[in-house]
Structure 1
Amino acid sequence: MSIQKKFPDVHWVWKGAISFVYEVHPRIVVKVPKSSDFEREQFLKELRIYEIFSQHPPCSSIVQCFFYADNGIFLEYMRDVTLCSRIQNNHTRDLESSVVTKVEKLEPLPLRKKWMNDLAQAVAFLESLNLAHGDLRPENVLLDRDRLKLADFDCTAEIGTDFEACMAPYGRLLNSDEQDQGRRGTSGVLGPRTEQFALGSLYYLINYGFEVYGDRCLTEDPKEHGRKVVELLQNLEFPKLDGDPLLDKIIGKCWHNKYATIGELAASTETLLLGRNNCRETEAKNPCTPRWRVVMGRIIRGLWKPFRSWCDFVLGRTSQTTKPEVASGGELDGHSRGGMGQKTQNNLADVSSKKTFCQNLEKCGLLQMLASGEPEQLGFTIEWSRHSTG
């Protein structure tokens, strides 16, 4: 039986550097490694990171893993691809030089602040596990509508490990004044310095609408532009920051290694969101606000937190970790051992059921079949962003 007949709801949706990604449900994808030794080795690195994650309460700013096996990782489906694509859709480039000539729009300021904090919280979570992501760039930041999460952990390693994936403007080479960090011309080692620098450049991208020096050509030959950027960053020469002063201050501190830890940076970005909770001050300063509205607002805010906790309990949103256990067969929500049923399309409400769902697919032989050949050989045609509209 062909894979399409046995698993008619499986679709090929992405081709990554080391893996192919298949949708198995509108809210779940599975990453399957490519066949070469290097790609397989990198995939196993990411697998080990998810094994570490499984031993801790999940971080809401990291793409969640529901289940993993030696030849596949089941993850939540971030349906709008990457931060890179989102930003590129918001600006215009000169095709010859690749210079950004016009920023059509910036994302709303509250959303930009939230994204900054989400990224900091994700990297701070890694730091709490003595890990550094090691490849922080917009292609590894995924979006689902306006929700942002960090993904792709094949370069993630312990703090103090050599920094290998150093790509400007999200990594920089050390200069002669940084002997304490490593030898000049090298990338040094992974740690708060490397991670906050990358975050600073991501924050610049989010708030300015283009990459560092992406709005100008620094050399006569556009092909030499990238080399010039590397040189400028090595010498700690950055573009002028003339946007929101509060956000610019954070970007500048990241670029100049002013945060002792990423946890300290995360505490700083968290303050960006405090304005959402200052309703009482706003009400007090606004004498035109009717008294009944002030009172009702306070009552609603007081009741919201326990109500949300009750909802989380009812829906099974706990902090329990998901470990790679093997399910004991049977059917789940219309999914038999022979394939996928239709009833599950709207019936995967919590992590536990999603985990069991993924385990059943693995037991049905899905991962083995997907690993048996390239997607085209298996009869798949790539379906980019199947759920990215609406």
Structure 2
Amino acid sequence: MSFHNADALEQHNWIGGGLDAYIYRVTPTIVVKTVRRDRTPEEKAAEHPFLKEISFYKRLNACRDQCPNIVECNRPRFYERQERETGINGFYGRLIRVKEFEDPALIARWIQQITSALENFNLKLTDFGRATTIGQPLEGTLPPRARPILAGPLKGTYGLCSARTEQFAVGTLLYFMVYGHEPYDDIILSAAEWDRRFWEMEFPELSRNKVFDGLISACWHNVYPTMALLAYDFKRKTKDMIGNTEYIFIDSVKETKTCEALIRKGLLGPELALRFQPAWRRYLHAIVKRSMFIWQYFVQRRFWIWS
């Protein structure tokens, strides 16, 4: 798999970034994630950072009959409602304030679907790019989505993927949805202080929504012995919150066609643009390219003869 970068993407609104990639909003309903241009030679030689994410999304799409809108619930929606200081190297700066909070009914709908997927399909929640199986060491995840272990045989790790690690991540995700930012996002903490606070279970004050706050606290304090019990408790306590909430339906077929049209126009570069053209246009392009090659050959040959 090659790395596709395009200048056209950078003309759109940058809404997020991470260790491996940047995210741009290209339409009101479509965002594009692309690998960073400034990756080191070692990073470029390693496994493509999107392979595990693709595998994860395939698993999510396989669950769409039970979780029809789970893929549409994404973090950029929340980041756009934040006011932040200017960061460096494409990362967000310190949080100043949250300009708008999400509708609790939508949060209830999303969190029910997410916990259902975790319960029924053993999906690992913490990071799409770090997908692994239950029982394996939890790697590539830091506070606030994981709680470090600072004592005992697993000291210096985040433990093994289990109900403990996953419900902690669910708690942090729910906090993000309810409060519009991650825990302690409004202050600067050292890595050691992050670890200390979460190891000692020194969490931010919860005071926005009684139901959600209780669920967040339960997840952070490892109340649920299994994810099935977590999913049951979440559904039981949030069922009355959903009501008749109007959900904006996303037509996947229509959006797929829009994506293909954007690619054909060169959003991801000329190579992919050609790949998504109709067969007759690709054939015509091949003929023109071949003709140009032959013409250049004869021009060079004539030049050699004259010389």
Q: TM-score if structure 2 supplies the norm length?
A: 0.60
The CA deviation at 1:28 is: 2.7
Question: How many residues end up aligned between the 2 structures?
Answer: 249
Other-structure match for 1:174: 149
The CA deviation at 1:231 is: 1.0
Instruction: Flag the 1:356–1:246 CA change in 2: closer, same or farther, 3 A.
Output: closer
Instruction: Flag the 1:242–1:352 CA change in 2: closer, same or farther, 3 A.
Output: closer
Other-structure match for 1:27: 29
Is contact 1:174–1:184 with CA below 8 Å preserved after alignment? Answer: yes
* Pair 1:250 & 2:215 matched: yes
From the two aligned structures, give the one with the greater helix fraction: 2
Other-structure match for 1:57: 64
Report the secondary structure of 2:144's partner residue. coil
What CA deviation, in whole Å up to 9, does each residue of 1:157-194 have, x standing for no partner?
Answer: 22233222332222211243xx5xx6022111223222
Instruction: Flag the 1:52–1:258 CA change in 2: closer, same or farther, 3 A.
Output: same
Which one of the candidate residues 152, 157, 163 is aligned to 1:192? 163
Other-structure match for 2:192: 227
Other-structure match for 1:344: none
Which one of the candidate residues 244, 249, 255 is aligned to 1:354? 255
Report the secondary structure of 2:193's partner residue. helix
The CA deviation at 1:247 is: 3.1
CA distance in 1, matches of 2:31, 2:54: 15
Is contact 1:134–1:164 with CA below 8 Å preserved after alignment? Answer: no
CA distance in 2, matches of 1:114, 1:38: 38
- Unmatched 5+ stretches in structure 1: 65-75, 90-97, 136-152, 279-300, 302-307, 309-316, 318-348, 373-390
* Pair 1:266 & 2:210 matched: no
* Pair 1:12 & 2:3 matched: no
Other-structure match for 2:301: none
Is contact 1:10–1:23 with CA below 8 Å preserved after alignment? Answer: no
CA distance in 2, matches of 1:231, 1:88: 27
CA distance in 2, matches of 1:351, 1:206: 24
Structure 2 letter corresponding to 1:166: T
Report the secondary structure of 2:129's partner residue. coil
Structure 2 letter corresponding to 1:195: E
CA distance in 2, matches of 1:186, 1:42: 23
CA distance in 2, matches of 1:245, 1:53: 30
Q: What is the correspondence of 1:131-150 to structure 2 with a 5 Å cutoff? A: 131-135=123-127
Is contact 1:171–1:194 with CA below 8 Å preserved after alignment? Answer: yes
Instruction: Flag the 1:55–1:364 CA change in 2: closer, same or farther, 3 A.
Output: farther
Structure 1 letter corresponding to 2:124: A
Instruction: Flag the 1:88–1:185 CA change in 2: closer, same or farther, 3 A.
Output: farther
RMSD: 4.4
Q: What is the correspondence of 1:1-390 to structure 2 with a 5 Å cutoff? A: 11-14=11-14, 16-17=17-18, 18-23=20-25, 25-34=27-36, 36=39, 38=43, 41-57=48-64, 59-64=67-72, 81-88=76-83, 107=101, 111-112=103-104, 114-135=106-127, 153-176=128-151, 183-207=154-178, 211-212=182-183, 224=190, 226-239=191-204, 241=206, 244-275=209-240, 350-359=251-260, 367-369=268-270
Instruction: Flag the 1:87–1:170 CA change in 2: closer, same or farther, 3 A.
Output: farther
Report the secondary structure of 1:132's partner residue. coil
CA distance in 1, matches of 2:118, 2:177: 22
CA distance in 2, matches of 1:276, 1:245: 12
Say which structure, 1 or 2, has more relative contact order (CA 8 Å, 6+ apart).
1
Structure 1 letter corresponding to 2:110: D
Instruction: Flag the 1:355–1:113 CA change in 2: closer, same or farther, 3 A.
Output: closer
CA distance in 1, matches of 2:101, 2:29: 25
Q: Give identity over the alignment, percent.
A: 27
Instruction: Flag the 1:188–1:12 CA change in 2: closer, same or farther, 3 A.
Output: same
What CA deviation, in whole Å up to 9, does each residue of 1:268-315 have, x standing for no partner?
Answer: 23334433588xxxxxxxxxxxxxxxxxxxxxx9xxxxxx9xxxxxxx
Structure 2 letter corresponding to 1:125: A
Is contact 2:126–2:145 with CA below 8 Å preserved after alignment? Answer: no
CA distance in 1, matches of 2:11, 2:165: 37
Report the secondary structure of 2:156's partner residue. coil
The CA deviation at 1:47 is: 1.7
Instruction: Flag the 1:16–1:268 CA change in 2: closer, same or farther, 3 A.
Output: same
Is contact 2:81–2:98 with CA below 8 Å preserved after alignment? Answer: no
CA distance in 2, matches of 1:366, 1:252: 43
Is contact 2:108–2:242 with CA below 8 Å preserved after alignment? Answer: no
CA distance in 2, matches of 1:235, 1:21: 34
CA distance in 2, matches of 1:113, 1:25: 25
CA distance in 2, matches of 1:359, 1:22: 16
